[in-house]
Chain A
Amino acid sequence: MNKAALLIALIMLLISLLSPYIAPYDPEDFSFDSLMPPDEEHILGTNSLGQDLFSQLLYGFRFSTIIALVSAFISTFIGTVLAMLCSYYGGWVEAFIMKLTDFFLIIPEIIVIMLFSVFAGPGLYNIIAAIALFSWSKVTRILRTKSNLAIKDEGAQYTLLLKGNLADVMRKIWPQIYPAAATMFVLQCSKAILYEANLSFLGIGDPTVKSWGRLIRQAMDYEGLFFEGAYLWWLLPPIACIVIFVGAMSLISFDMNKETIR
């Protein structure tokens, strides 16, 4: 189970790295006939603008995985640092940070992300920033318990006794919460993919960033999608990619979970 999911994730990563080399056509090239069903030349046919859908899907791997990995990394980083600050300072700092994570339980993260990215305007960096800045709350909530336990450990306590500063204590805590942080990173990846799909679906973000979500949105915007059977090769492949990605991530985290988050 674990190995299969890991293999799928690696293959997806490889595709996103190699997409410019394996894509048969330029994804922006609209010189083909429009709405062709799949054949040997166009594996997934073409869309209403006459662009090759298979190439678009392959480039979609690139944008979606970049957004997922980078924003998940940043949000896990923010969440972990805040969790460690909680256990180092305790008191009102901890209370304040925990209240902030409670806030995101009540106000859905996606709506804060939406507000931010509408005002920030289009751009790949703005999408990543929006997702990364407002999706760390769960990381903090889970890792705080871990780091509160870790700081009671001998190593960290000696460091505190020797008047070690924040960085020293963090260095002592990190090896203990690292497995949990890795699990959270994997979970954040699938969350980021879904948030990005939400944003693209709403039409927020950059029209030139052709992620899976954007492909879904383009397909949905075409009126005759269901009457001509075009959904089979236009709409379903990007949805399938998201489902497989999210599924692989949750399987991986599920197996990591057994050992770490309990």
Chain B
Amino acid sequence: MKSVKSLSRVVIENLIFFIVLVVLSFLLPRLIPGSPIYGLADNTHVLNMSVPEEVLSRYKEYYAPEKTLAEQFILNVEQLLKGNLGYSFHFGLPVSDIIKGRIGWTLLLSISAILISTMIAVSMGIKAAMKKGSFMDKLLVFLVILMEAVPIFLFGLLIQMAFAYKLRLFPAQGAYSIGMDHETPGFFMDALKHSVLPLMALTFSQTPSFLLLVRNTAIRVKKEPYVEMAVYNDIDEKTIKYKYIVKNCLPELIGKLNIHIIYAIVGTLFIEVIFSYPGMGELMKIAAGARDYCLIQGIFLLTGLYGIAVNIILGFLTNIIFPRMRA
């Protein structure tokens, strides 16, 4: 009974977030003074190139600037329910199609980076916590703090320079070789080879803060009476490490993972641009550069939806795994 109550609470909370998201994506572009939505009818020259009549009429149909705000909102919600995110005039394609083609690449990159950095952070963080105060631990903490201050694009640039331009071990740009057939088995290897460097940069930037969190949480858990009791009872170290310590660090770890996964779409921005990776980050850059309004709104909505979905799933997970975390 209690679990059903707290699960439904998670759903209701996220429903509110969803409504706020839709309202924000509707109102923000319309309330900003001098918004281009209202000026578009007079200004057909976007980026010094005239927009074809057909695109403009689709655009007007979607935003309907001549109607009242309430009517526009109803129209907007109707379109969203149909899955219509508008029409990109830069690509000349529906926004949803463009995003569909790209989101996979980004998720592939960021989810594998999260998996790798989680494995590194947990194994090394626990090790450092067990030997707290040793030389290795101090060195690790120092390196981690140093790495935390380095912005992600510096990692990307340095890795690209070293491994792609100087050593020529891996390709520097793209997600696959141009002209590669998507059906052949060689394509998989090719894509894998292309993803090594961006993956490396992402992992480098995500691991430090995660490692520090694991270490500090594990040190706190290590002082709990049940762990000390286990040590006195001569339970072997492996069991203590994984059954007693890691398991009780999980709430913090899931909290951190939540943030990482939510930033999975936006966080790859710099890396994708540096490595010309055809994902959402690069799309964002193109959309912003071309002032492709529908596309930017679409990306915003989708990132928000994705964040809410992640929030629901992880909320459920925490509820099921840790009954004591229930609000």
Contact = CB atoms under 8 A, between A and B. Distances in A.
Interface of A: 99-100, 102-103, 105-108, 110-112, 114-116, 118-121, 194, 197-198, 201-204, 216, 220, 226-227, 231, 235, 239, 242-243, 246-247, 250
B32 interface: yes
A239 B35 CA distance: 33
For the complex of A and B, the 10 pairs showing the least CB-CB separation, nearest first, are: A106-B307, A202-B288, A203-B289, A119-B29, A108-B266, A115-B300, A204-B288, A107-B304, A247-B149, A120-B32
A107 B151 contact: no
B291 interface: yes
Given A107-B307, A118-B296, A243 B154 contact: yes
B299 to A, nearest CB: 7
Given A114-B284, A114-B288, A201-B270, 16 more contacts: A106-B304, A106-B311, A107-B17, A107-B303, A114-B300, A115-B300, A120-B33, A120-B34, A201-B273, A202-B288, A203-B288, A226-B160, A226-B165, A235-B157, A239-B151, A243-B154
Interface string B25-44: 10011001111110000000
B300 A111 contact: yes
A116 B27 CA distance: 10
Interface in B125-169: 149-151, 153-154, 157, 160-161, 165
A111 B291 contact: no
Given A99-B16, A118-B293, A202-B284, A108 B262 contact: yes
B297 interface: yes
A119 B35 contact: yes
Contact of A246 (B149, B165, B273, B274): B149
Contact of B293 (A100, A103, A107, A119): A119
Contact of A108 (B33, B165, B303): B303
Contacts of A197: 151
Interface of B: 13, 16-17, 20-21, 24-25, 28-29, 32-37, 149-151, 153-154, 157, 160-161, 165, 259, 262-263, 266-267, 269-270, 273-274, 284-285, 288-289, 291, 293, 296-297, 299-300, 303-304, 307-308, 310-311
Contact of A115 (B16, B25, B34, B273): B25
B296 A103 contact: no
Contact of B28 (A115, A204, A239): A115
Nearest to A129: B32
Contact of B17 (A106, A216, A226, A250): A106
Contacts of A235: 157
Nearest to A198: B269
B285 A202 contact: yes
Contacts of A107: 17, 21, 303-304, 307
Nearest to A244: B149
B22 to A, nearest CB: 12
A103 B17 contact: yes
14 contacts: A99-B13, A106-B311, A108-B262, A114-B296, A115-B28, A115-B29, A116-B32, A119-B35, A120-B32, A120-B33, A121-B34, A197-B151, A201-B285, A247-B149
A243 B296 contact: no
B19 to A, nearest CB: 10
Q: Which of A202, A204, A216, A250 has the most CB of B within 10 A?
A: A202
A111 B21 CA distance: 12
A216 B269 CA distance: 15
Contact of B291 (A118, A194, A239, A247): A118
Nearest to B267: A108
A235 B158 CA distance: 12
A1 to B, nearest CB: 12
A220 B273 CA distance: 10
Contact of A203 (B161, B165, B285): B285
Contacts of A243: 149-151, 154
Nearest to B154: A239
A139 to B, nearest CB: 18
A108 B300 CA distance: 10
Contact of B263 (A108, A121, A198): A108
Given A106-B262, A110-B266, A119-B36, A239 B288 contact: no
A112 B288 CA distance: 13
A242 B13 CA distance: 38
Given A111-B300, A242-B151, A119 B288 contact: no
B285 A111 contact: no
Given A198-B269, A243-B154, A226 B161 contact: yes
Given A106-B308, A107-B304, A120-B32, A112 B165 contact: no
Given A121-B34, A243-B149, A202 B297 contact: no
A112 B161 CA distance: 32
A130 to B, nearest CB: 10
Contact of B153 (A121, A239, A250): A239
Nearest to B166: A226
Contact of A250 (B149, B285, B308, B311): B149
A227 B160 CA distance: 12
A220 B285 CA distance: 13
